[in-house]
Amino acid sequence: MNRDALATELLDSLAGPDLTRYAFELPARAEQVSRARKMVSARLESWGVGEDAHDTALLVLSELFTNAIVHTGGHLVACELRADADRLRVTVQDQGAAATGPRVCRGAEGERGRGLLLVEAVSCAWGTYGAAPGVGRVVWAELPFVPAADAASREGASASEWPC
């Protein structure tokens, strides 16, 4: 197993003293998607992430993790969650060596090909970049994040507000 192909630190723009981070690696096998979801779900619960953000984060993780397995030939998939005061970032890194990155399939009619369209629809922002050092691709998505303690104080806010 080539563990060197996964970057030891997934870089992104979230920074600051109020940052919460969780990362793990799993084998790049279909049955590991469920395990990744369970691990992320437990962590989000411990962070006090509300039900909507929790469910959305699990959906995004599932899509990105599945893409890393289906579209690359790596042995490991690295996942990372980062939360600050108002954003939750889900990052997935594969070991694939494809020359191009993931693309949103706007006209997907079949059962497959709509994962990134879904990620784009539920995320404030998403993107991709080549992993360094080594081969692979990093795909990330940012979601609005309101800690449970803050959610109660925002209860009077308009339901149509999107905090991103």
* Res 13: pLDDT: 45
Query: What pLDDT is recorded for position 42?
Result: 96
Spell out the long-range contacts of 49-55 with Cβ–Cβ below 8 A and sequence spacing 24 or more.
Answer: 49/83, 49/88, 49/145, 49/147, 49/148, 50/146, 50/148, 50/151, 53/88, 53/143, 53/144, 53/145, 53/146
Would you write out the chain's pLDDT as a tens digit for each of its 164 residues?
334 444 444 444 444 555 689 999 999 999 999 999 999 999 999 998 888 999 999 999 999 999 999 888 889 999 999 998 889 999 999 987 655 555 444 454 545 556 788 899 999 999 988 887 767 889 999 998 766 655 554 445 444 444 55
Give the pair of three-digit tokens for residue 25. 């690696």
Is residue 148 helix, strand or coil?
A: helix
The reported pLDDT for the residue numbered 145 is 76
